[in-house]
Amino acid sequence: MCGLRVWLAVMLFAGGGALRAEPDGADIDWRYRIAAGDTLITLTEAWLAPPHGWRELQKLNRVPDPLRLKPGSTLRMPVAWLKREAAVAEAVFVKGDVRRQRNAAGGADEALATGATLQSGDRIRTGAQASASLRFADGSRLLVPPDSEVTLEQLLVLGRDAIPAVRLNLNQGGADNRVVPNAQHAPLYELRTPHVNLGVRGTEFRVQAAGAQSRMQVLSGAVHADGLGPNVAGGQGLLAEGKARSVALLLPAPDLASLPRTAERLPLRLGWAASPAGAVAWRAQLYARGDFERLLLDARVAEPVAAWPEARELPDGDYTLRLRAIDARGQEGAAADADIHLQARPEPPFIQAPAEGAVSYSGGMALAWTRNTAAPGVRLQVARDAGFKDLALQPSPIAAAGYEARLPDGVYHWRIAAVEANGHAGPFGDPQRFELKPPPPAPPPAEPEVSGDQLKLRWRADEGVVRYELEWARTAAFDGADVQRFATDKPEVALPKPSPGQYFLRARAFNAAGAPSPWGQAQMIEQPYPRWIWLLPLVLLPLL
């Protein structure tokens, strides 16, 4: 393998024997604890592969009598002498575009599904916001984050007790590893990158490979790097770049005390304090609550905030945010975890009227909105303060697209939320302000002025959005020839007043890169018929 070759071995002990870092395990000794009735001959038959025999085992361990072994003592068995059988790994979790290519090069390329088994030679590639978690024969786990490629070069079990022997190649991206220790024997687990080869047993560590660098962070255990004097301990990271190797302390966990524990907005946006000192970026990951094998969203951000438009695909519920600070060397530090409750649905209706800051002289204000087709009820709050502590109005859920707020003169703030048929209410949308003033003196008579030829719609503005697109249709399925599409760079649009009837609309947003969000939930609006239509039968009756 080209580039810097560094062998790392966790300095743990199993039955008194330490793992020595040697290529392909040529001189790695496994320590077997002798049980009553064991002989060198029976152990050779159970454990060793030809041509190795009991005489070699006797010479290596200096055993005087091959038939009389002391129970409880240990016997050295070189790993290279052990019997080998093929093993498999299981995909315990798969999200998004994850591909599996059989035999790495030239084999069939197919989508990887949860529950699938993988074998030696399989290559795994994860796309954007895609991830996969694998479980090996001994319970060790591998998490492959987004935009990564890992080859399962070797999956074996050794000897009678099926000691796992795993060798992986990280071609690009990252790999989070949790290797299960065992007091009786040490599993063999190797992970290779273009710059660093890692040999471990019983530890938790992360690896990233990008460009001319490979990084490794040890979360637990102690790791020895070939060519370095001291061990790389838990809480330290190794950077390999060309022939240079350096070890430094990892940053401590960020402070998540200021992080809100409930998220009510989509797209999901989570912010935290800019900590710890020395952080130049952060790695934010969203998991199913408490399950760190189910990686759902991943982001590397330069500011202490993560925004995920992809969160629209996630149902409301409980999640865990895992956050790590990144230092100037690119090393990801210790993680801080916080449980997050997502409660963003049903999405609030779009506000239709009045305009922000509107003034009325009639002693009341007509409030109007669209209706969420999945939650047609509306919860309304009108308050005298922007914090909605001093409520002036809070009627029962409204089964209509508007409400006449009759209140004393003053400044008010109002907001609405959608309510499902079972009474469950979603989060409130952005508040709006209006003012009621006493009417001015009556003006002199004037000619009537028609200004109601437009239909105006407004909705909440989201950070990072540069363009909005609306669809307008006669059906909730948005099909047929009458579907119309409108674009605007502001969170509002003025449309020609439609003819009387029922209409449906929905919106989506685009970022600066031109990537669209999923369509929001459909909203319904009814344009009433003019009152004179209902009087038409009375006008025609004398003519019959």
Q: Which residue has the higher pLDDT, 457 or 336?
A: 336
Domains of the chain, residue spans: 84-249, 262-342, 351-436, 454-527
Continuous segment of H or E residues that includes residue 199: strand 197-200
Residue 347 near residue 326, CB atoms below 8 Å: no
Q: pLDDT band at residue 85, thresholds of 50, 70 and 90? A: confident
Contacts of 534 by beta carbon, 8 Å cutoff, 6+ apart: none
Q: Check residue 96 and give left, alpha or beta (phi > 0: left; psi -120 to 50: alpha).
A: left
Higher-confidence position of 349 and 7:
349
Quote the pLDDT of residue 5: 32
Instruction: Find residue 360's DSSP bridge partners.
Output: 436
Q: How much of the chain exceeds pLDDT 90, in percent? A: 53
DSSP track, 228-293: -SS-EETTEEEEEETTEEEEEEPPPPPP-TTS-SEE--SSEEEE----STT-SEEEEEEEETTEEE
Whether 446 shows a pLDDT value over 80: the answer reads no
3-state DSSP assignment of residue 23: helix
Q: What is the per-residue pLDDT for 513?
A: 63
Give strand pairing partners of 377: 419
Give the integer Cα–Cα distance in Å for 499 and 105: 62
CA distance 526 to 499: 10
The class that CATH gives domain 351-436 is mainly beta
Alpha-carbon span 347 to 369, nearest angstrom: 13
pLDDT value of residue 360: 87
**Residue 2 clears pLDDT 50, i.e. is over it:** no
Three-state helix/strand/coil letters over 337-375: EEEEEECCCCCCCCEEECCCCEEECCCEEEEEECEECCE
Asked which of 22-31, 484-493, 508-517 is least confident by mean pLDDT, the reply is: 22-31
More confident residue, 537 or 281: 281
Here the tokens at position 73 are 């003592």
Residue 452: its pLDDT value, please? 67
pLDDT over 80 (residue 38): yes
Helix (H, G, I), strand (E, B) or coil at 382: strand
Residue 530 is predicted with a pLDDT of 64
Q: Are 84-249 and 454-527 equal in CATH topology?
A: no
The mean pLDDT value for 176-181 works out to: 88
More confident residue, 364 or 19: 364
Average pLDDT for residues 42-67, to the nearest whole number?
Answer: 91
User: Among 93-107, 202-216, 351-365, 385-399, which range has the highest average pLDDT?
Assistant: 385-399
At 437, is the pLDDT very low, low, confident or very high (cuts 50, 70, 90)? confident
Q: What is the mean pLDDT of residues 94-99?
A: 97
* pLDDT on residue 523: 83
| Mutual angle of helices 40-47 and 54-61, in 10-degree steps | 120
Q: What is the mean pLDDT of residues 269-289?
A: 97
How many Cβ atoms from other residues are within 10 Å of residue 517's Cβ?
19
Residue corresponding to tokens 């790994």: 89
Percentage of the chain with pLDDT > 70?
A: 85
pLDDT at 476: 87
Return the minimum-mean-pLDDT range out of 131-140, 185-194, 311-320, 329-338. Answer: 185-194
Q: What is the pLDDT of residue 420?
A: 94
Full 3-state SS string of 483-530: CEEEEECCCEEEEECCCCEEEEEEEEEECCCCCECCCCCCEEEEECCC
Residue 524 has pLDDT above 90, yes or no: no
- Give the per-residue pLDDT at 104: 62
| pLDDT > 80? residue 376 | yes
**Dihedral sign for Cα atoms in the order 179, 185, 187, 188:** positive
At residue 247, φ and ψ (nearest 5 deg) are: -125, 140
pLDDT, residue 23, reads 32
Euclidean distance between CA atoms 342 and 310, whole angstroms: 13
84-249 fold: Jelly Rolls (2.60.120)
User: The tokens of 125 are what?
Assistant: 């590639």
pLDDT at 479: 86
CA-wise closest residue to 334 among 205, 161, 508: 205
pLDDT in tens, 202-245: 688 999 999 899 999 999 887 666 666 677 788 999 998 877 88
pLDDT for 163: 77
pTM of the model: 0.70
What values do phi and psi take at 73, rounded to 5? -80, 170
Across the chain, what does the average pLDDT equal?
Answer: 84
Q: What is the pLDDT of residue 270?
A: 96
Helix (H) or strand (E) holding 535: helix 531-540
Structure tokens at 518: 């999923």
Determine the average pLDDT of the residues in 498-523.
79
User: Residue 507 corresponds to which tokens in the numbers above?
Assistant: 């919106």
Q: In this predicted structure, which of 46-60, 389-403, 515-529 has the lowest mean pLDDT?
A: 515-529
Task: Tell me the C-alpha distance between 320 and 473, whole Å.
Answer: 39
Q: Computed over its alpha carbons, how large is the radius of gyration of the chain?
A: 33
pLDDT at 503: 85
Tell me the mean pLDDT in the region 134-144.
93
Q: How confident is the model at residue 501 (pLDDT cuts 50, 70, 90)?
A: confident
Q: What is the DSSP code (8-state) at residue 401? A: S
Least trusted range by pLDDT, from 74-88, 203-217, 342-356, 511-525: 511-525
Q: Does the structural domain 262-342 have CATH classification 3.50.50.60?
A: no
Q: Pick the more confident residue, 358 or 522.
A: 358
pLDDT, greater one: 308 or 449: 308
Q: What is the pLDDT of residue 103?
A: 76
> Between β-strands 262-263 and 332-342, what pairing exists: parallel, antiparallel or unpaired?
parallel
Name residue 187's amino acid.
P
3-state secondary structure of 444: coil
Predicted local distance difference test score (pLDDT) of residue 186: 54
Q: Which residues pair with 199 in a beta bridge?
A: 190
Distance (Å, rounded) from C-alpha 16 to C-alpha 2? 35
- Spell out the residues 6+ positions from residue 531 whose beta carbon is closer than 8 angstroms to its own: none
Is the pLDDT assigned to residue 442 strictly greater than 50? no
CA 431 to each of CA 391, 412, 413, 505: distance values in angstroms, whole numbers, following the listed order: 13, 10, 6, 21
* DSSP β-ladder status, 432-436 and 410-419: antiparallel
**Mean of the pLDDT values across residues 2-8?**
33
- Mean pLDDT calculated for residue range 364-373: 94
The architecture that CATH gives domain 454-527 is Sandwich (2.60)
